[in-house]
Amino acid sequence: MRNIRIIARLDIKAPNLVKGIQFEGLRKIGDPSKFALKYYLQGADEIFCADIVASLYERNSLLDIINSTTNNVFIPITVGGGIRSIKDVTSALNAGADKVSINTAAIKKPGLITEVAEKFGSQCMVLSIQAKYRNSGWEAYYDNGRESSGIDVIEWAKKGQDLGAGEILLTSVDREGTAKGMDIELIKAVTNVVTIPVIASGGIGNLNDIGLAVQEGCADAVSVAHVLHYEELTVNEIRQYCIEKNIPVRRLSVDGA
Amino acid sequence: MKNKNTLQKYNLPESIEFCKECTISNQRPRITFDENGVCSACNFAKHKQKNIDWKEREKELVLLLDKHRKNDGSYDVIVPVSGGKDGGFVAHMLKYKYGMNPLTVTWAPSIYTEIGRKNLDNFINIGGFDNILGSVNGKTHRKMARNSFLKMGDNFLPFIYGQTNFPLKMAVQHNISLVMYGENGEVEYGGDMTLANSPVKDMSHYNNIFFSDMSPEDWEREGISKSDIAPYLGPTKGEIEENNTEIHFFGYYHFWDPQECFYYCVKNTGFEVNDVRSEGTYSKYASLDDQTDWLHYFLAYIKFGIGRATSDTAHEVRDGKITREEGVMLVKKFDGELTKKYFEITLDYLNVTEEEFWEVVDSWRSPHLWEKDENLEWKLKCPIWIE
């Protein structure tokens, strides 16, 4: 079994790290660079940072965000929010990102997934899916969890993989920011139909939620925000918990990274 | 249909000016701008953020509550709620932090949305509250909504009667001397500033501000019977005085931040956001209850050029949640967006055809705000993004 990755997630509305509940009521949390550094030093395996309102505001603050988060952080960084073209990907990678995450632009133009994967490799192309439960299944959302695309999440995940996505960041809009537990059924439903790694996101309120996402949901990574930002958990506590539960994780040397 | 003279009716300045700090314009009735081009609401927001000693205000609140507190099992404060985040916050704080025994009262919307009704139920069942839901004769309400739309260009007049009068009536009926509202909208969002430093709602302003010069009694001449009008009436002045009724704003006693009310209610009253953003704006956590409320906001967009996205962004800029630049972007993107979801159901409710609907709407477009473009589509002459 591959190591399960613990990813610290930073949603950014430039110049601030923000956090909402179900993507609503974005609260300013602080300076993203300080939080990125803190989570790196706590032993996060990766950092995910996104301009969460890029599509909503039809802007692109990505380079500022990369500059403000990559300093002194020596773990893989995925950036997202407002990536609409190969040119955007190129500048994000040049600025220091290791991977890019795309949601809105991929929904509007699925071929972009293939273009990015062919030019930069699948490992670099993370398909971000905001999944909202409606009626009898999950629908893919965009614009910071505000707009429904009408696309079925399970179908979209399969299609994303076929088009060349190397990884899926799967966020439950219903659970995001609530700290009331993850949507395990959603995670299971997606991990069942794809072979590429799935990062589970949205709803972690305690250590047990992480165990469930990995052991029942078969997630390959967890993305953690609320409990880290509000200092309810540290990355190291999560790692220790995983070790106790026999969940394979990267072993760290004593000095952190 | 004859074009309405909104300049005169609402006393609007002919030349449009936007606040230098938020997204509101001088077309909001009663708002004032200072010599630096900053609106009264922005100045109040700064005052609120800097000059007020909230610990002292809390002491004032406790004194007030102790004066009205009953401790005998009977209700001692009326809190008007919709089931949303703002009333939910006030009611929960009063009951669970300050030990009052609130009776919460709700004036039913014209047509409930699923999420609106669910949030009211959650508020009652998860938040833990007694509630009286005032539902009036739907036939009368519909007739009044139709006529107020046709005559006054606002379908919401009958709702506003109840929203204003029903809590007072419940206070008198239950011998409760304190009514606690959330924020004072005039002060927080721009308007009459005479009560900026007062905790109390001034009763003398009711008719001319909220009722567009047409009070519930006036409906008799529109063919509504006395008995059908009765539910919309407030208590008499004598009854209010005899009950020693006081109406206060919680926003005077506690720093008012709608976003924080949201966090509080998600935690304490089971509040849930909507599935998607509300059409005409970007938010999904405010004003979720009524399938016809979009028209109330849309008509403000027509009359004043101030739609829901303008109002939402203006206060979020003041509250420091977004920048003015972000606000302008959101206004450009969403303000005046026509509903797809509720258009038909609303026209059906008002019993108007699409043609009649647009005839009424267009009669409220003042030439100082609106012009037709080359495709003969209406557009704002002076939108905020091309200042």
Q: In the structure, how many helices (H) and strands (E) does chain A have?
A: 10, 12
Query: Are residues A146 and B276, on separate chains, in Cβ contact within 8 Å?
Result: yes
| CA distances, B380 to each of A115, B60, B100, B335, B368 (Å) | 41, 46, 49, 11, 9
- Residues in chain A within 8 Å Cβ distance of B282: 56, 146
Q: Alpha-carbon distance A38 to A233, whole Å? A: 13
What does the pLDDT read at residue B47? 94
A251, part of any domain: no
> B178: which 2 tokens?
């304190």
Q: Does the structure show a pLDDT above 50 at A257? A: no
Q: State the DSSP H helix or E strand holding residue A220, giving kind and residue range, or none if neither.
A: none
B54 touches chain A (CB under 8 A): no
- Helical H segments across B123-217, by residue range: 138-152, 157-173, 185-189, 206-210
Q: Alpha-carbon distance B220 to B49, whole Å? A: 46
Query: Are residues A146 and B282, on separate chains, in Cβ contact within 8 Å?
Result: yes
> B269: which 2 tokens?
């009253």
What domain count does chain A have? 1
CB A137 within 8 A of CB A152: yes
Q: How far is B205 from chain A (nearest CA, A)?
A: 33
For B263-298, the DSSP string reads: HHHHHHT-----SSPPTTSS-SSSS-SBTTHHHHHH
CB B366 within 8 A of CB B6: yes
Backbone angles phi, psi at B380, to 5 degrees: -70, 135
Return the beta strands (E) in B184-254 as ranges.
246-249
CB A137 within 8 A of CB A109: no
CB B331 within 8 A of CB B310: yes
Task: Check whether the bond before A15 is cis (ω within 30° of 0).
Answer: yes
A158: number of Cβ within 10 Å: 14
Three-point CA angle B302, B308, B313, nearest 5°: 130
Higher pLDDT pick, B194 / A227: A227
Residue of B nearest to A134 (CA): B275
Q: State the DSSP H helix or E strand holding residue B183, giving kind and residue range, or none if neither.
A: none
A117, part of any domain: yes
Q: How far is A227 from chain B (nearest CA, A)?
A: 15
CATH of the domain at A91: 3.20.20.70
- Residues in chain B within 8 Å Cβ distance of A61: none
Single out the residue of A163, A6, A170, A148 nearest to residue A76, CA to CA: A6
Q: Alpha-carbon distance A26 to A19, whole Å? A: 5
Query: Are residues B277 and A146, on separate chains, in Cβ contact within 8 Å?
Result: yes
Q: Alpha-carbon distance A78 to A49, whole Å? A: 6
Query: Are residues B275 and A132, on separate chains, in Cβ contact within 8 Å?
Result: yes
What is the rounded average pLDDT for all residues in chain A? 94
Report all structural domains of chain B as residue ranges with CATH numbers, in order of start. Answer: 6-49+273-386 (no CATH), 52-253 (3.40.50.620)
What does the pLDDT read at residue A57? 82
A24 touches chain B (CB under 8 A): yes
> B230: which 2 tokens?
């009765």
B272, B273, B276 ranked by CB distance to A147: nearest: B276
Query: Are residues A24 and B283, on separate chains, in Cβ contact within 8 Å?
Result: yes
Residue of A nearest to B326 (CA): A57
Q: How far is B95 from chain A (nearest CA, A)?
A: 24
CB B343 within 8 A of CB B335: no
Residue of A nearest to B329 (CA): A57
Query: Are residues B330 and A21, on separate chains, in Cβ contact within 8 Å?
Result: no
Question: Over B73-103, what HEC string results?
Answer: CCCCEEEECCCCHHHHHHHHHHHHHCCCCEE
| Mutation for testing the A interface, residue in B122, B273, B328 having most A CBs under 10 Å | B273
Query: Are residues B321 and A26, on separate chains, in Cβ contact within 8 Å?
Result: yes
Query: Are residues B262 and A134, on separate chains, in Cβ contact within 8 Å?
Result: no
A121: number of Cβ within 10 Å: 12
A106, part of any domain: yes
- Exposure class string for A72-100: b at 16+ Cβ within 10 A, else e: ebebbbbbbbbbbeeebbebbbebebbbb
What does the pLDDT read at residue B207? 46
A75, part of any domain: yes
What does the pLDDT read at residue A80? 93
Query: Are residues B326 and A58, on separate chains, in Cβ contact within 8 Å?
Result: no
- Helical H segments across A164-234, by residue range: 184-193, 207-215, 226-229
Query: Are residues B284 and A24, on separate chains, in Cβ contact within 8 Å?
Result: yes
A249, part of any domain: no
A256, part of any domain: no
A257, part of any domain: no
Residue of B nearest to A141 (CA): B276
- pLDDT tens sequence for chain B (387 residues): 889 999 999 999 999 999 999 999 999 999 999 999 999 999 999 999 999 999 999 999 999 999 999 999 999 999 999 999 999 999 999 999 999 999 999 999 999 999 999 999 999 999 999 999 999 999 999 999 999 999 999 999 999 999 989 999 999 999 999 999 999 888 888 888 888 888 888 766 544 345 557 888 889 988 999 999 999 998 888 888 899 999 999 999 999 999 999 999 999 999 999 999 999 999 999 999 999 999 999 999 999 999 999 999 999 999 999 999 999 999 999 999 999 999 999 999 999 999 999 999 999 999 999 999 999 999 999 999 986
Single out the residue of A154, A150, A139, A137 nearest to residue A192, CA to CA: A154
Q: Alpha-carbon distance B312 to B331, whole Å? A: 9
Side-chain half-sphere exposure of B156, counting CA atoms within 13 A:
18
Q: Alpha-carbon distance A144 to B333, whole Å? A: 15
B262, B276, B326 ranked by CB distance to A25: nearest: B262
- What helix, strand, coil percent values describe chain B, rounded to 5? 50, 10, 40
CB A76 within 8 A of CB A99: yes
A252, part of any domain: no
What does the pLDDT read at residue B344? 98
What does the pLDDT read at residue A253? 66
Please report the sign of the dihedral spanned by the C-alpha atoms of residue B319, residue B322, residue B328, residue B332.
negative
Q: In the structure, how many helices (H) and strands (E) does chain B have?
A: 18, 7
B283 touches chain A (CB under 8 A): yes
> B259: which 2 tokens?
């976003």
- Residues in chain A within 8 Å Cβ distance of B259: 25, 27
Residue of B nearest to A149 (CA): B276
Higher pLDDT pick, A186 / A60: A186
Domain assignment of residue A84, given as a range: 5-244
Q: State the DSSP H helix or E strand holding residue A131, giving kind and residue range, or none if neither.
A: strand A125-134
> B91: which 2 tokens?
């009611």
B273, B320, B321 ranked by CB distance to A22: nearest: B273
The 3-state DSSP class for residue B30 equals: coil
Query: Are residues B263 and A21, on separate chains, in Cβ contact within 8 Å?
Result: yes
- What are the residues whose beta carbons fall under 8 Å from the beta carbon of A62, sequence distance 6 or more? A51, A54, A79, A81, A82, A83, A88, A91, A92, A95
DSSP state of A256: B
ipTM of the complex: 0.91
Query: Are residues A56 and B276, on separate chains, in Cβ contact within 8 Å?
Result: no
The pTM for the full model equals 0.94
Return the beta strands (E) in B250-377 as ranges.
370-372
Q: Alpha-carbon distance B383 to B385, whole Å? A: 6
